[in-house]
Amino acid sequence: MPVSKIKNLILLILGMSVACLLLLVVPTRLHQAQSEQELHAQLEALYASYDIELDRSILPNSIRLYAVELGGQSADSAAAAQALLGENAVLQSDSTHFTSTYRSENGSCTFRSDGGFSAALETGTPTADIAAASEKLLKSMGFETRGVSEPERQSAGVYSVRAAQTILGVPVLSEGLRLRYTNSTLDEIDGYFYTGASQITRISEDACISCADALTAFLSRRDALGWVGSKILRVQQAYRHTESASASMRLSPAWILVTDTGSFCVNGLSREVTAWEGILPSE
């Protein structure tokens, strides 16, 4: 048999195998989605029985997340520094396990082990579109985001924009980054930038609890939390930075519940519910 016909036969077999897999996977996922929607409807009724307003249309489908470790900080930080400061950015000799500082003729930037980040830029080119320029820069630095805020005036000629980081498609609970422009030229960045996402390792056996589980955990703890609200305004899945003795950065899945009288965080693994006073993830 000619080689070309053998190749076509192999491609045909592979195509049929993929089609068979899709026939198995798609109905399963549809069933899971339908089951989750049914749970949401039951939750809506359950909350109503406690005189708590919960609109099931605001409830998102759960994403299968695990606790993860970001192991590529050194490489990612170096790449981000070069994207920001130029190819001549050099790691400084006074850098430690806790801080890494890079410098070039264009300025300097520092990465902290807790995710903190700051940069001071000495040269730059004015831009006509601050938001678009910021989004392009952050992407080149490996900072994934769902978008940049509209410029906010700080003082005469000084504007800033903000961006929240996402990892594996979900927001990270942090202040994100603030980029400051003076006379349309970027001169300062500060906030939190979790590098290392190029090497992600799963470190938990269990996956994050579902949206329904998080709402059930909250309902069962509402009295202990002293919650006296009457409405759930927003529910969102996110990652939360957790302390680690290792050099790598760890993130754990969580659910954020925004109510009419405060916000709460449900640990995606332990189901522990605590009041949340930090930055809320962008929608």
- Give the pLDDT score at 182: 96
Q: Which two tokens stand for residue 115?
A: 């995710």
Answer yes or no: is 249 within a domain: yes
271 in the Ramachandran plot: left (φ > 0), alpha (ψ -120 to 50) or beta? left
- Give the pLDDT score at 31: 42
Answer yes or no: is 106 within a domain: yes
Asked if residue 241 and residue 170 are part of one domain, the reply reads no
Asked if residue 76 and residue 183 are part of one domain, the reply reads yes
Asked if residue 182 and residue 91 are part of one domain, the reply reads yes
CA neighbor of 83 nearest in space, from 58, 104, 114? 104
Say how far residue 188 (Cα) sits from the centre of its chain: 22
Per-residue pLDDT tens, the chain, 283 aa: give them.
554 555 444 444 444 544 443 344 334 443 455 688 888 999 999 999 999 999 999 999 999 999 999 988 899 999 999 999 999 999 999 988 889 999 999 999 999 988 999 999 998 899 999 999 999 999 999 999 988 999 999 999 999 999 999 999 899 999 899 999 999 999 999 999 999 999 999 999 999 999 999 999 999 999 999 999 999 999 999 999 987 666 678 999 999 999 999 999 999 999 999 999 887 776 6
Answer yes or no: is 26 within a domain: no
In angstroms, the CA 183 to CA 156 distance is 9
In angstroms, the CA 38 to CA 117 distance is 43
Answer yes or no: is 148 within a domain: yes
Which of 152, 171, 192 corresponds to the end of one domain? 192
Asked if residue 252 and residue 237 are part of one domain, the reply reads yes
CB 117 within 8 A of CB 108: no
In angstroms, the CA 19 to CA 13 distance is 10
3-class DSSP assignment, residue 200: strand
Answer yes or no: is 20 within a domain: no
CATH number, domain of 60, equals 2.40.128
Q: Which two tokens stand for residue 159?
A: 């504007």
In angstroms, the CA 105 to CA 83 distance is 13
Asked if residue 182 and residue 98 are part of one domain, the reply reads yes
Say how far residue 256 (Cα) sits from the centre of its chain: 13
Asked if residue 237 and residue 207 are part of one domain, the reply reads yes
- Give the pLDDT score at 22: 37
Which of 192, 211, 228 corresponds to the end of one domain? 192
For the chain, state the CA radius of gyration. 23
In angstroms, the CA 233 to CA 53 distance is 9
Answer yes or no: is 161 within a domain: yes
Which of 192, 211, 242 corresponds to the end of one domain? 192
Answer yes or no: is 128 within a domain: yes
Asked if residue 233 and residue 146 are part of one domain, the reply reads no
171 is in which domain, residue-wise? 72-192
- Give the pLDDT score at 247: 61
Q: Half-sphere exposure of 234 toward its Cβ, with a 13 Å CA cutoff? A: 13
CATH number, domain of 185, equals 3.30.310
Answer yes or no: is 16 within a domain: no
Asked if residue 147 and residue 77 are part of one domain, the reply reads yes
Domains contained in the chain, number: 2
Asked if residue 215 and residue 177 are part of one domain, the reply reads no
